[in-house]
Every structure is written in C-alpha cells, then in structure tokens.
Amino acid sequence: MATEIGAGALTETPAATAVFTAVLTEGPLSRVSLAHRLGLSSAAVTKAARPLIEMGYLQELAATERTGPGAGRPASPLAIQADREFFVGVKITGDELIGVVVDLCADVRVSAHRPLTDPGVEAVLTELGRLVDELLDGPGGYRARTRRLGLAVSGDVDRTTGLVRYSPFLQWHNVPLRERAAEVTGLTVTVENDVKALTTAEHWFGEGVGAESFALVTVGTGIGCGLVVNGRLVSGSHGVAGEIGHIGVDDTGPACHCGGRGCVEAIAGTPAIVRQARESTGRPELTIDDAVRLARGGDEKIGAIFARGGDAIGLGIAAVANLVGPARIVVSGEGLAAYDLFETHIRSGFERQAFGAAVECPLSIRPLPFEEWARGAAAVSIQSLVAP
C-alpha cells in the first residue's frame, strides 16, 4: 500500500526534489545517470529516491542498460508512476472555462468546457465548482487521487499569494482567487498568469525541456511572453515579467488599456485588430473571423492592419531577444489561426530590430488550443507539489 501524504510538498530535501524533477522532466533515468547529471553520489540518489518509490510516485523499470564498461548488474531506470496522482487545470477566459485532468506527467486524461455568461467573480466561482465536479466525478474516477487544482488567468497575478491583482479581460481587481477557489472546490489551489503557466508546461513537459533559456510568445486577445533564464521561470520581483504586449513600439499609436500608448498589444491584439478593421470598413458588427477572411480575400486595408500588427509583434520579440538572448523562441496562442497574415511581418520586424547575433535566434511556431493553457495551469500545480 502506497504511503499517503498531506497537501504539502512531496519532497523534503533538495536532493529528493532534484531527483524527482529530473525523472519527471527527462526520465526514465538510471541512478548512475541521475548521479552524474545532478552531481550527487549514487548513495545520495538511492536515499532520495527510496521514499518516493515507497509512496508510489517513482517506479523501477526492468533493467535495460549496464552502468559502465565491465559493469555487472544492468541498471534499472527510475520512472514516474503517472497515475499515482491527478491534477485539475482550468483556464479562465472572459466567456468560458476550459478544464482538464492530467496525470503526474501532465498528460491530459479528460477535458471539459463550460460557457460563462457572466465574468463576475461569484459567477465564475460557481461555474468553476461545477466544472471541477464534472471532471472529477465523471468516467475515470479521478477524485480519490486528486488533491490539487491549478488556475490560469490573464493579467497581473501574484502566484505566491494567489491574488489576481488585475485581469483586464475579466475586469477583476484584487481578487483572492486561491482562497476563494479552495473554499469552493476543497482542493489545494495554485493561481498563475496564463502565459507563465503555459511557459511552465513547455519548460517541464514540452519544447523547453532541458533548455537553460527560452521564451514563449503568445499571440491572441493579448500579446504575452513567458521567459525561462538559467533554467528558471522569470517571475519578476513584483510578479510582472515578460510583458512584451506593453512594450511601446509607436508613440503615436493607439491608447492601450494599460494606460500607455502604441503598445504591441494595442496594435496587434485581437481586440485591436477588430477595432481597426471595423473603423476601416465601417462595419461595427465585424468579427476577427470576418477580418481574416477579408484580408485573405485581398482587402488591402485589412491586410495592412495585420501587417502592422505583425511588425509590432516582431519588434516586441526582438526586444526579448536583445535583452535576454534566449536559445529559442516559441510563438503560440489562439491568434495563430491568422498566422499566415502575420508571419512575414513578424519576421521582418524581428530581423530589423534584433541586434547582432540575436537575429539568429530560431522562431518556432506552435499552435496550441485552450486545453493546452489549462494543462499549463495543471503543470503549475504539479510543480508546486514537487518544488514549492
């Protein structure tokens, strides 16, 4: 019978945290490989792994390799017992909740959506409770092995306290979301900015695994950026970092909801594209899908709006490359549905503004559905279990 643990951290020593994190993000790994990677003795690795094996979080696979030339007994790699514990992740948007249940390896087991007719805090919490119940009490029987819920919200979020200081698209100010969500669901809750949550998922379970530095840029309702430097997510001293959407690229440009002018987001965010397209066509009912169709159909004025947006995004990405020097930059977000209209202009803006060798930083395009943002919220919850 696996040992049960409380709601605290899974690992109690730095060595255990390092061993479990390495196996989780890069495993299966033999004890010898772990000792070499982490600068620990084999005895220290064995000591750190033993309680994790006893609790059912790690398992020993069948022996597959020898520990070295002339070595006797083949090594038995350590691997994650993925179904030992499950995690709920929810992405909160202005009109919908997207929820997933993931296993310990962040693989999605089930997902569900709930529409929001009211983005107010009380209405969202009510629907959140219903969504969590739907996910945990449906097929799969996940409730018994689920203790943690991760929430991803746009805007200024204090992960340490779970306070949503400001979410522009929800119009929330100083909402103690972690506390309120825990009351509603009975789970241990983490709250993170949605872009940082997605970056965490990519860092631990996606394209960023093993990378000492990379940037994730999201294009959509907002223009966001998550940064990993020296193997760690950059949170910022005040919980704000990587906000390339609020880099000013045109001091004569449109006003931004942040109070600035000519921000990347005020030019290239989905609401900004729609606003400009409506002004250009005189059609107040025009949607982003309409704008995309017109641009693809050869409407030069609408095409120029996307071109300007792409250039602004490219300038923002160049600022990141110049300041941080990431090994790679991943571009994602729901706005990539129109990426063909942005791409040339993103790359030209980036190449024009990137300094020196920074222009060689590869840009990779990774379209991600909202379920991946919810998975990011769950990944933050996994991370809080392993390394709070």
The tens digit of pLDDT for each residue in 299-316 reads 999 999 999 999 999 999
Residue reference for tokens 């998550």: 226
- Strand-pairing partners, residue 282, are none
β 86-92/146-153 pair status: parallel
- The structure tokens listed for 146 are 């689920």
Q: Are 382 and 188 in contact (CB under 8 A)?
A: no
Return the pLDDT at 365: 80
Same fold, 14-83 and 210-365: no
- The structure tokens listed for 80 are 């994650």
pTM confidence score: 0.85
Judge whether residue 343 has pLDDT over 60.
yes
Judge whether residue 144 has pLDDT over 90.
yes
**68 pLDDT band (50/70/90 cuts)?**
very low
**362 pLDDT band (50/70/90 cuts)?**
confident
- The structure tokens listed for 387 are 């390394």
Averaged confidence pLDDT in the chain: 89
- Which CATH code fits 85-200+372-386? 3.30.420.40
Domain ranges of the chain: 14-83, 85-200+372-386, 210-365
**388 pLDDT band (50/70/90 cuts)?**
low
3-class secondary-structure state, position 182? helix
Long-range contacts of 74-79 (CB under 8 A, 24+ apart): 75/30, 75/31, 75/32, 75/33, 76/30, 77/27, 77/28, 77/29, 77/30, 77/33, 78/19, 78/23, 78/27, 78/28, 78/29, 78/30, 78/31, 78/34, 78/49, 78/53, 79/23, 79/27, 79/28
Tens digits of per-residue pLDDT, 280-296?
999 999 999 999 999 99
Least confident of 66-70, 96-100, 320-324, 353-357: 66-70
Give domain 14-83's CATH number out of 1.20.80.10, 1.10.10.10, 3.40.50.880, 2.30.30.90: 1.10.10.10
- The structure tokens listed for 125 are 């919490």
Length of the chain (residues): 388
The CATH superfamily label for domain 210-365 reads: ATPase, nucleotide binding domain (3.30.420.40)
Return the pLDDT at 73: 54
Least confident of 3-7, 111-115, 167-171, 326-330: 3-7
